[in-house]
A and B are shown apart, each in its own frame.
Chain A
Amino acid sequence: MTPLLDVKGIAKRYGRHIGCADVSFDLWPGEVMGIVGESGSGKSTLLNCLAGHLAPDAGEVWFDTRVDGPKDTLKMGEPERRMLSRTDWAFVHQHARDGLRMGVSAGGNVGERLMAVGARNYGTIRHQAIDWLGRVEISEERVDDRPTTFSGGMQQRLQIARNLVTGPRLVFMDEPTGGLDVSVQARLLDLLRGLVRDMGLSAIVVTHDLAVVRLLADRLMVMKDGQVVETGLTDQVLDDPQHGYTQLLVSSVLQV
């Protein structure tokens, strides 16, 4: 079996400061990888390097493409990488407004990726948009409303629908529940878990919130100062942490 994503030796520096250093891992089809750590641990830098938003100084990111099999996405031309990022990849931002077009209706937001890959039938696009709004528990009646009229939780669910409508095989999530009220977080997590299971999604979830990875992630990577200090199955890492830093994280001694 081929890993969906094969990450080799990713490193990124900001001058003398280390963003992340020599990170390698595999992600298997249908697997959810959680990356946890405090702010400044390098987890967001790593995610942005993997998703093509930042150019790492070293390393390779091999993705098992539908047509050509594994390809190093860092060596792809920009057209191919951008095509990937709106078809087989998805990116859920912490702040929904970074991932939505606030001046476009909910239906237009969900339909954009379909139109970007050539959908040219209004009725079909709208039908799919409404279907996806339903899957993220947004009423069909809101299809023509702009996200500015939505609550924070609804905006985040809309962002998820907009990302998943093209059936991506790999989803990057950056603090997907960050900034939301606790009760809203719980509902969003349940929804995400259901979607990940139903669609057999592979995902990389960066968060400081251990409750998020407990619920979503099959495996965990713990980062500190740009380094991966511990990896393993989620339950194993959280219930029996080996590294001293992980033990502090899990015991909630650290305010993360």
Chain B
Amino acid sequence: MTDQAYNFAYLDEQTKRMIRRAILKGLAIPGYQVPFASREMPMPYGWGTGGVQVSAATLTPEDTLKVIDQGADDTTNAVSIRKFFERTAGVATTTSTRAASLIQTRHRIPEEDLTEDQILVYQVPIPEPLRFLEPRETETRKMHSLEEYGLMHVKLYEDISRHGHIATSYAYPVRVEGRYVMDPSPIPKFDNPKMEMPAIQLFGAGREQRIYAVPPYTEVVSLDFEDHPFDPSKAPHACGLCGAEDSYLDEVITDDEGGRMFVCSDTDYCECRRAAGHCGPQFPEAAA
């Protein structure tokens, strides 16, 4: 049951219209950070209040919502956001990527290919990719408007000079449709190539009050050097549970003796594969 003390999806209609205008502007200018008047949400910043507001303005009663955190549906953060929308919007929820029409995510893109019927909403902590070297907001805005992006490569240069390779493995900067440089939020760089997808991608930063977007089938290029090309590397293992060799893996400790294995970070992907009969080296008995 929807809690009647709230408007549908918690936010009032006027606020949702304001956020929708920001979303539409973001879709019209792919990768451009649109300022919006972020509202107080009944959860702390860092819990994805930007993503929650974007989801609230995007959800309809017919939607089916999935919420993931680091690929998992069952973390505290994911569960509390899912419950929040169950309570305030009364929408159906799911852990199945395929069954969801709107997916709110923190730190991952699902392994399963998304479709034109789906929307992916990212929770973003720091939307400004130039921030780490240029703290002045007036200056970073100017850099975006004049396409002065040399500084992004200074960061990659520093990486290589210090580590011998581009060590940035999360929030790896991208250039969208040959124009705006964008922070893809702290997803692993492994996910970067997936950003050219049929689904709509929306990004919400609550504390920093920014919304940006990548429309379907938009070119998203990870920045690099000619002699240090972008490499979306992954751990050279198969998932210990489902045997997948193409998924992003987390290393988990399995017992007190320091035993460890690699498993899919996308729990739904892993479960679907196991349900379909795939099995990994850690579970040979399941092969029978």
Interface residues in chain A, defined as those with a beta carbon under 8 Å from any beta carbon in chain B? 78-79, 82, 101, 103-105, 107-108, 111-113, 115-117, 120-123, 125-126, 143-144
Contacts and interface: CB of A to CB of B under 8 A. Distances in A.
A103 B160 CA distance: 15
A122 B133 contact: no
Given A125-B157, A143-B161, A116 B133 contact: no
A5 B160 CA distance: 40
Interface stretch (B33-41, B115-123, B144-152): B144-152
Given A104-B133, A108-B158, A120 B146 contact: no
A143 B160 CA distance: 13
Contact of A144 (B150, B153, B154, B161): B161
A125 to B, nearest CB: 7
A79 B226 contact: no
Chain A contact surface mostly: helix
B162 interface: yes
B131 interface: no
Contacts, number: 55
Interface string B224-262: 011110000000000000000000000000000000000
B161 A116 contact: no
A193 B278 CA distance: 73
Contact of B227 (A101, A115, A123, A143): A123
Contacts of A82: 142, 146, 148
What are the 3 closest A-B residue pairs judged by CB atoms, nearest first?
A116-B150, A115-B150, A115-B153
A112 B161 contact: no
B236 to A, nearest CB: 25
B226 A121 contact: yes
A53 B162 CA distance: 34
Nearest to B226: A121
Contacts of B142: 78, 82
Given A82-B146, A103-B133, A115-B150, A121 B161 contact: no
Nearest to A121: B226
A113 B154 CA distance: 9
Nearest to B156: A122
Given A107-B161, A108-B157, A144-B161, A122 B146 contact: no
B134 to A, nearest CB: 9
B226 A108 contact: no
A125 B154 CA distance: 10
Nearest to B166: A122
Contacts of B226: 120-122
Contact of A108 (B161, B225, B228): B161
Given A112-B150, A120-B153, 5 more contacts: A101-B154, A104-B154, A108-B154, A112-B151, A120-B225
A80 to B, nearest CB: 10
Contacts of A116: 148, 150-151
A101 B153 CA distance: 14
A235 B225 CA distance: 50
Contacts of A105: 158, 161-162
Interface string B123-134: 000000000010
By CB atoms of chain A within 10 A, which of B148, B151, B158 has the most?
B158
A116 B130 CA distance: 13
**Which of B157, B158, B226 has the most C-beta atoms of chain A within 10 angstroms of its own C-beta?**
B157
A79 B143 CA distance: 10
Contacts of B153: 115, 120
8 contacts: A78-B142, A78-B146, A103-B133, A107-B161, A113-B150, A120-B226, A122-B160, A144-B162
A79 B146 CA distance: 6
Contacts of A121: 225-227
Contacts of B157: 107-108, 111, 115, 122, 125-126
A126 B150 contact: no
A122 B154 contact: no
Interface string B258-283: 00000000000000000000000000
A9 B76 CA distance: 68
B155 to A, nearest CB: 8
A117 B150 contact: yes
A78 B145 CA distance: 11
A55 to B, nearest CB: 16
B165 to A, nearest CB: 10
A19 B156 CA distance: 42
B161 A126 contact: yes
B118 to A, nearest CB: 35
B203 to A, nearest CB: 26
A123 B226 CA distance: 9
